[in-house]
């Protein structure tokens, strides 16, 4: 089993924390910045989606999706900041 800061749970936690931080900053700037080129560049998002995915198990069937992840420049910056903070703590 992998130990130390390079285990998969560490990286997943950093990604989740970074996207939450970046999403919060994106929403904050979207609300308070006036319309400008700066706002268009940093607040616009790209949302890849997957789905819907149907699963039929004969007894139970269900459909999941579509599931998407909104990615912006600030969410990437949030992931980078979360990585450096986590790296300095652990």
pLDDT digits (tens, 9 = 90+) for 49-63: 888 989 888 899 989
> Considering the domain boundaries, does residue 41 fall inside one?
yes
Q: DSSP character for 45?
A: E
Q: What is the Rg, in whole angstroms, of the alpha carbon atoms belonging to the chain? A: 18
The model's pTM = 0.68
**Structural domain total, the chain:** 1
Smallest CA-to-CA distance from 76 within 49, 50, 41 is with 41
- Say whether pLDDT at 35 is over 80: yes
**How many Cβ atoms from other residues are within 10 Å of residue 85's Cβ?**
14
- Say whether pLDDT at 70 is over 70: yes
> Considering the domain boundaries, does residue 3 fall inside one?
no
Burial class (CB in 10 A: 0-12, 13-18, 19+), 18: buried
**What is the domain range of residue 58?**
8-89
> Considering the domain boundaries, does residue 2 fall inside one?
no
> Considering the domain boundaries, does residue 1 fall inside one?
no
Write out the H or E segment, with its range, that includes residue 64.
strand 61-64
> Considering the domain boundaries, does residue 39 fall inside one?
yes
């Amino acid at each position: 089993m992998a130990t130390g800061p390079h285990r998969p749970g560490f990286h997943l936690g950093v990604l989740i924390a970074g996207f939450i931080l970046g999403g919060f900053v994106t929403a904050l700037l979207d609300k308070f910045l006036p319309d400008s080129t700066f706002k268009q560049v940093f607040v616009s998002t790209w949302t890849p989606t997957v789905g819907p995915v149907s699963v039929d198990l004969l007894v139970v069937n269900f459909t999941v999706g579509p599931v998407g992840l909104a990615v912006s420049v600030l969410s990437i910056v949030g992931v980078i900041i979360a990585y450096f903070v986590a790296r300095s703590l652990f």
